[in-house]
Amino acid sequence: METHIPLIVRNVDLDDDETLEQLAIGLADFGWQETGGQVVATFFTKSSDPVAAAAAAALCIRRVLPQASVERVDEQFVSLADIAARAGLSHEAVRLWAAGKRRTTGAPFPAPRAEVGQGRTATKIWTWPEVLVWLEAHYCLDLEPDTAYLTVRQVAQLNALLQEPQKENRQGRWQPVATAGDSIPDGLEQGRRGEGSSEERKASLIWATRGRTWGFKFLHDGGFRDPLPVYDEVFSGVWDEPEAWRRVADKGALRFPDPLGRKDRAGRVIPHEFVLLGPLADEVDSVDEARELVWPQVADVFARVWELPKPPSVET
């Protein structure tokens, strides 16, 4: 199942040749369109944590298009007429469902999200993903096979991340490497270096791995200018076990083989090594628990970079 996440992006001109070239080079994995006077970039992911994956995707947009502003999720508001047209149903059938006048089993038709206009010209609107789920559950109408959308709760979570990126950085949600180009997006790490407080460095992680053709590389530095001393300290007592979890004070060393069994050009399964810092380390007591916590956050990123001819790098 693939999750489609449409993001409203401001300050992007799809009629500009230079912008289109930038999209083709650095953001070709998105679906770009202009609808209702708004530019929408649709992100496609199979990640088990689509919110984190979409937040990382938004950072990539900002890196490739510094002038762009990823504002929020496009919830795809639709009227009764829109629903009827998309579902291939009569307007009257949809109106009766919405009014609760047509018998159905189970949950009623989704409640309208808002009302546009006033008086006789007022129009109720719904979100298309909610309507899709209802139509499939009650009438087996699978209008978009193998496609999922964010739930209402996930939309709220992602919108909060998009509105408060700096707050999220301080709380330690690790910031992934860019999926377009060869470096982490500008601004992700710079605010965490130098004068950053110890609290800013606590809830984070260091991630080292290798790709198909490139050797071991730190893909996330945990906010340290040089993560190697911290890495060496935590992994000093971890030998060659393919899987390992070891606590060292307020840190944890985690190693596990690539969950999809991806191999380097020598035929070796690629290992992933992490140093979990502060609260992240406190949440786990085993390899399995740590893998469940960390891997969903990095899976999409690694899928995009592991076959690159050169490793992505952290900017300083």
Tens digit of each residue's pLDDT (9 = 90 or more) over 277-314: 888 888 888 999 889 888 988 888 889 889 888 777 65
Single out the residue in 74, 97, 116 at which a domain terminates: 74
pLDDT score at 172: 37
pTM over 0.75: no
Q: Which structural domain range is residue 137 located in?
A: 77-148
Has residue 62 been placed in a domain? yes
pLDDT score at 105: 67
Has residue 40 been placed in a domain? yes
pLDDT score at 175: 41
pLDDT score at 178: 38
pLDDT score at 270: 92
Closest CA to 41 of 191, 22, 175: 22
pLDDT score at 203: 39
Has residue 84 been placed in a domain? yes
pLDDT score at 300: 86
Same domain? 121 vs 202: no
pLDDT score at 65: 86
Same domain? 202 vs 240: yes
Single out the residue in 45, 74, 103 at which a domain terminates: 74
DSSP string computed for the chain = -EEEEEEEEES--TT-HHHHHHHHHH-TTSEEEEETTEEEEEEEE--S-HHHHHHHHHHHHHHH-TT-EEEEE---EE-HHHHHHHHT--HHHHHHHHHT-S--SSSPPPPPSEEESSGGG-EEEEEHHHHHHHHHHHH---SSTTEE---HHHHHHHHHHHH-HHHHHHHT---PPPSSSSBPPTTTTGGGSTT--HHHHHSEEEEEE--SSS--EEEEETT-S--HHHHHHHHTT--S-SSEEEEETTEEEEEEE-TT--B-TTSPBPEEEEEEETHHHHT-SSHHHHHHHHHHHHHHHHHHHTTSSS--B---
Same domain? 82 vs 70: no
pLDDT < 50 regions, the chain: 165-203, 315-316
Same domain? 135 vs 61: no
DSSP string computed for 168-216 = HHHHT---PPPSSSSBPPTTTTGGGSTT--HHHHHSEEEEEE--SSS--
Same domain? 223 vs 275: yes
Query: Three-state SS for 15?
Result: coil
What is the longest distance spanned by two Cα atoms in the chain?
Answer: 74
